[in-house]
Amino acid sequence: MSEHLIVRVIVKLLVPFILLFALYVQMHGDYGPGGGFQAGVIFATGFIVYSIAFGARQTIRVLPLSVVTAMVSLGVVLYALVGFVTVGAGGNFLDYGVLDSHDPVHGQHLGILLIELGVGISVAGVLTAIFFTFAERRQK
């Protein structure tokens, strides 16, 4: 794609907006359409589009594979951590109401936000890792 200057410039302009839209979908997922899975897919799509325009090696320089692997693990750990905190606070696993002892509704919102964030981080990491796996394969 190095000979397609217009595509590369447009991709450089669009990727930040794609990532920003992923954050919007992530943060407004409990109030409207969206959430962790959708935001993770959009976030991964931003890096996949960048990789198509600039190549997988350049994208790996921007987003190293160690970060992608950490994203997968971090999302799962965040999800489990929220569940264990709710158990430690005296509730059931993922009983968000106990996260705020003064206002259970606020605890519900906080729990959902954290769980969806964990899902979003994991989905973005997994989809990016899958793409990198296929993009780096050599044909024989």
Structural domains counted in the chain? 1
Task: Render the chain in DSSP notation, one character per residue.
Answer: -TT-HHHHHHHHHHHHHHHHHHHHHHHTTTTSS--HHHHHHHHHHHHHHHHHHH-HHHHHHHS-HHHHHHHHHHHHHHHHHHHHHHHHTTS-TT-GGGG-SS-HHHHHHHHHHHHHHHHHHHHHHHHHHHHHHHHTPPP-
120 vs 4, which has greater pLDDT? 120
Domain of residue 33 covers 5-135
Query: How many whole angstroms separate alpha carbon 34 and alpha carbon 49?
Result: 21
- Long-range contacts: 99-105, Cβ < 8 Å, 24+? none
Is position 111 within any domain?
yes
Kindly report the CA angle at 98 between 92 and 102, in degrees rounded to 5?
Answer: 160
Answer yes or no: is pLDDT of 4 > 90.
no
Looking at residue 123, its pLDDT comes to 97
Structure tokens given for 30: 């409990």
**Of 2 and 99, more confident:** 99
In a domain, 94, yes or no: yes
Per residue in 66-124, pLDDT (tens digit) is 999 999 999 999 999 999 999 999 999 999 999 998 999 999 999 999 999 999 999 99
* In a domain? residue 47: yes
pTM listed for this prediction:
0.89
User: Given a cut of 70, is residue 2 above it in pLDDT?
Assistant: no
Cβ 121 vs Cβ 71: under 8 Å: yes
At 29, the pLDDT band (50, 70, 90 cuts) reads confident
Could you read off the pLDDT of 30-68 as tens digits, one per residue? Answer: 777 778 999 999 999 999 999 999 999 999 999 999 999
140 in any annotated domain: no
Q: What is the pLDDT of residue 139?
A: 43
Helix (H) or strand (E) holding 55: none
The single residue listed with the structure tokens 């973005």 is: 124
With a cut of 70, say whether residue 138 has pLDDT above it. no
